[in-house]
Structure 1
């Protein structure tokens, strides 16, 4: 399943994108407050600024809205990482800039990330697999940067594990915020994680 598989009776693609973006913002606000299951489609329509009838011109089920939310989150992460990745002259600084940018994005999107991990279980099997594949793709982007910036220093298996570690460390800032954000500023957290990352690879600090 992809975003294009979410059925719409409207054919104007620009209007579909506009309405669905409104829907995603409205749904995120409500999911923060009430969770996916306790939120109704009527409430999503109202929060999005249009009628329930209009809502159903762009989606068929409430699960479609959750899918669009998850898909939007990963697309924002992909675009941010892609904009920061510069592999024409790969260096350790390139890699560290990507890691910093990813952590900063996870700070900006911490509410969305928490919602996604709480609610993705509500998706149907094939839809959930699509969302999980998006996550694999994001980890794959990090892995590619690591391998390119540290050529011949790591096995593919090690690079994959390190990429997963970085991915989870970024998300952890949001879903462990109840503890971490009492003890660290975002900058302190990023610098600590980068310090440990460099130490683990014996990179000169």
Structure 2
């Protein structure tokens, strides 16, 4: 799946990267507060710290900003998750638990960005949406691979379908921390939420293996 090419009148790649990072940060704040459709490009420019003319030197449309937001968030979530997983030398079920806990931690750290992305991704241009959705699949595959390692080590007895479903469930449970934060975050810390989710998602599976 090819990455969408966002037009820019500027050739300096470092400057493009810097300005677009400013745009993403400014746009997330506005989209969270007002939504994509009610936010103007002029407001995005102001929130980003430059003029509307400068904004259009780095993008072609407001939809380009939304695409950059979604792309940047997925990249950041993936990179942080990989970083957390590389910090500890674990294997088997312990590595799966670490992956889940690390993923939930990343979502907690980036909950505003994740919430904006899922609320507004539907407004992406149709040519850009498949690429962004593919990023979601790649995140799921990262988790799925760790589950498969447990299956291959005979620590879990899951079919391919069950493995894929568990990976998707883990991703959705992470998202739920943001979608229902108005309720969940009044009841639990992220550590408590993670512990309960781990117990509900994995304890039954592991227990079944012990009973075989």
Same topology, TM > 0.5: yes
Given the alignment, which residue of 190, 199, 202 partners 2:206?
A: 202
Please list every run of at least 4 consecutive aligned residues from structure 1 whose deviation after the TM superposition is greater than 6 angstroms.
none
C-alpha displacement of 1:88? 8.0
1:142 aligns with 2:108: no
Which segments of 5 or more consecutive residues in structure 1 lack a partner in the other structure?
none
Q: What is the match of residue 182 of structure 2?
A: 178
Counterpart of 1:117? 118
Alignment of 1:56 onto 2:56: yes
Corresponding residue SS for 2:127: helix
* Stretch deviating more after TM superposition (112-121 or 151-160): 151-160
Query: What TM-score do you get using the length of structure 1 for normalisation?
Result: 0.93
Aligned 1:121-136 pairs, distance under 5 A: 121-136=122-137
Q: Secondary structure at the match of 1:57?
A: coil
If the length of structure 2 is used for normalisation, what is the TM-score? 0.90
Distance 2:163 2:8 in 1: 41
* CA distances 1:135-180 after superposition (whole Å, capped 9, x unpaired): 0110011101111133242222111100000000001001111111
Q: CA deviation at 1:198?
A: 2.2
User: For residues 45 and 58 of structure 2, what CA distance do their matches in structure 1 show?
Assistant: 11
Which of 56-65 and 191-200 deviates more?
A: 191-200
Q: In the TM superposition, what is the alpha-carbon distance from 1:186 to its structure 2 partner?
A: 1.2
| 5+ long unaligned stretches in structure 2 | none
Corresponding residue of 1:78: 78
